[in-house]
Structure 1
């Protein structure tokens, strides 16, 4: 009886987690012209149509660029910050950690509204640049935390030995520290990429005419069209995210860092 209860709970949990994905995947295969479940027949035409919609292609390219370059910018700032927080006894280090974590703690709607009101409008920043800065700021906490976690497992005496053997601090960092935290840096990049690509609240405030990320473009598309192509695109994005995380887990042991 206990085993039956355990399996029932497990089954209900899996249904709760996986059920929405199954519904979206099947809804995208509908042969009808309206988004519905159960699907009206079976067809792959809506999955093919996704690639023919110009706005999706444009917004996908923008989301990819923001995710890649925003995450790289966050790593450029986050790796030195993580190094300083881990290697030096800095005054106010805990306060700095709290400030860095603020974009995770504060709701995205507040961040988007604040950036729009006090940066984009007064400084007349372009929409693309505003999105880039916002996505970089949102990914930065993940870069600092994941790299810090990786750096805590690196023995300090390895770096000190390199300095004693004639390396400068910069050389010791590039030749000893950085290669040994490479997996952590890659894990931070993947986590930041997925977070940036799927970002909605901040992008909703900062997107402008003709410049929209893919999630915002999907919302706008659903306001005027309710065909199964939006379900097909959602399924494709879900598969892309799952594939990235699966590959990261297999190659890097992703779960060690998050």
Structure 2
């Protein structure tokens, strides 16, 4: 991202205490933190940057676009990108919270839709399962490489049935874990666990060169080559800090994650 553009924008747009208080409220941060971000935008998290972009029209960079997109729109876009990289034997670089949905069992998807969307789940279920089925088929075809960093803390919650996974029966969670273990043997799956709490969530697609970030109902898509490259660099930096280093390490963690 062009930090000079961001810093100049913040200096011009947030020139009064009232504007700073507004920015702090929008971003969900303290006023002191808002002043710190104004002086040092490189310290700003992507979530804060996204919320300020939406509210103030912050110019992220050429080739970047943001907008509200519901879960169906996001799923359709991911299917489109995965279709493209599959046809071109490309690759994707994904940070998962907590695991890849391309391997998710349909019964797990149903349970999580109910947990996340309540009464809306019934309206979403049919199309979500249809799209996920197509994504899973492409994934199983092994026509593209999938580099994946899984959120180890989130995976532990799934494994132990905590939080949003509490309603999923243990036998169903065990069946899902078996799927993960089996698919991890594929030479097209490059999986790692990251166990620190500061893991962002985004995905990069090597061809056509797109990076996607989803924060709640805000969907960011980056297509500028330098921006996509910066996301790939971030992915590689996080990869070097992962808890697991080999396929065997990943499988061992998946079988017995910490409490």
TM-score, scaled to structure 1? 0.26
Relative to its length, the structure with more helix (as a share) is: 1
Query: Looking at both structures, which has the greater relative contact order when contacts are Cα pairs under 8 Å and sequence separation is at least 6?
Result: 1
